[in-house]
């Protein structure tokens, strides 16, 4: 996926320090990603990418240095203002699935009435990742499925320009979960049209017996292999946090050490990221 480590990009005396007028991340501190699908994407990045460069990328994302960000099937193109006057070009690529693959995926999603209903209502059910996995077509890219390039001279990987774009991409996913599917090659409206067509073909009375069934058996869930080890507090990241505080501290921040101790009783917990 990456390049061998080389010296960092040298500092240039004309590097601008004033605020930039590009795209700005909404998050002002900590990590990014508010919904389960964007957090899943960020968790993968933080597993396979250098944390120091990702941290500098967050700073770039928050300071308006990403000037453009365009998402197309299998491709993200962006321009990022770095230390030189000319912005750097960033390209991020994954596999966009073809019509045959999407036909299989759409049939698998439509076969579960509850998933289909949630998608038609504009929701992204967490179980959708299992459906993709069962079809042998991962929803999110891993290290082998993510190709990234930047025109900057920094050979460290990923550079801060790439990292900034990745974090802003996660916030785009926050705004519209169907962008995750569009990046894989299926526009939102096309998917919804296909799901409605399948729904119209099957009388509702014939779907009552399976409407509330789980999409994956409990035995299958117990033996589902994990492609990327999930953080101990993944449930807290996935669910919308309750508006509850104790001594002005959000309840989710207080629960994270307990979740970590459940995974490893020897772990006394660590500060929330």
pLDDT tens per residue across span 16-36: 444 467 888 877 776 677 888
Residues 37 and 168 occupy one common structural domain = yes
Phi, psi dihedrals of residue 222, rounded to the nearest 5°? -65, -30
Residues 78 and 49 occupy one common structural domain = yes
Q: State the total domains in the chain.
A: 3
Residues 165 and 116 occupy one common structural domain = no
pLDDT tens per residue across span 129-173: 999 999 999 999 887 788 999 999 887 778 999 999 999 999 999
Helices (H) and strands (E) in the chain, counts: 12, 6
Residues 226 and 108 occupy one common structural domain = yes
Residues 28 and 147 occupy one common structural domain = yes
Residues 191 and 201 occupy one common structural domain = yes
Q: Is the pTM of this model over 0.95?
A: no
- Domain extent for 51: 1-97+142-177
Residue 30: predicted pLDDT:
64
Residues 13 and 61 occupy one common structural domain = yes
What secondary structure letter does DSSP report for 152?
S
- The string of DSSP letters for 10-72 reads PP-TT---SPP-SB--S--SS----SHHHHHHHHHHHHHS-HHHHHHHHHHHHTT-EEEEEEE
Rounded Cα–Cα distance for residues 269 and 141 (Å): 30
Residues 59 and 110 occupy one common structural domain = no
Instruction: Report the percent of the chain where pLDDT is more than 70.
Output: 71
């Amino acid at each position: 996926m990456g390049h061998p480590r080389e010296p960092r990009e040298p500092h240039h005396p004309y590097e601008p320090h004033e605020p930039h007028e590009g795209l700005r991340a909404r998050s002002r501190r900590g990590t990014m990603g508010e919904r389960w699908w964007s957090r899943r994407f960020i968790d993968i990045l933080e597993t396979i990418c250098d944390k120091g460069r990702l941290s500098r990328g967050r700073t770039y994302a928050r300071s308006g240095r990403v000037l453009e960000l365009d998402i197309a099937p299998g491709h993200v193109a962006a321009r990022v203002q770095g230390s030189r006057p000319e912005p750097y070009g960033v390209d991020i690529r994954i596999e966009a699935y073809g019509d045959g693959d999407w036909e299989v995926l759409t049939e698998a999603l439509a076969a579960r009435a509850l998933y289909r209903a949630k998608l038609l209502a504009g929701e992204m059910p967490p179980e959708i990742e299992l459906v993709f996995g069962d079809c042998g077509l991962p929803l999110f890219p891993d290290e082998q499925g993510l190709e990234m390039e930047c025109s900057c001279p920094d050979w460290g990987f990923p550079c801060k320009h790439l990292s900034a774009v990745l974090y802003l991409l996660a916030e785009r996913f926050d705004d519209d979960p169907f962008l995750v599917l569009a990046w894989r090659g299926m526009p939102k409206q096309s998917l919804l049209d296909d799901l409605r067509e399948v729904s119209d073909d099957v009388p509702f009375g014939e779907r009552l017996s399976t409407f509330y069934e789980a999409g994956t058996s409990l035995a299958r869930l117990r033996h589902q292999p994990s492609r990327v080890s999930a953080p101990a507090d993944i449930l807290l990241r996935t669910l919308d946090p309750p508006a509850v505080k104790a001594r002005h501290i959000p309840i989710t921040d207080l629960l994270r050490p307990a979740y970590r101790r459940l995974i490893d009783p020897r772990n006394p917990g660590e500060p929330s990221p």
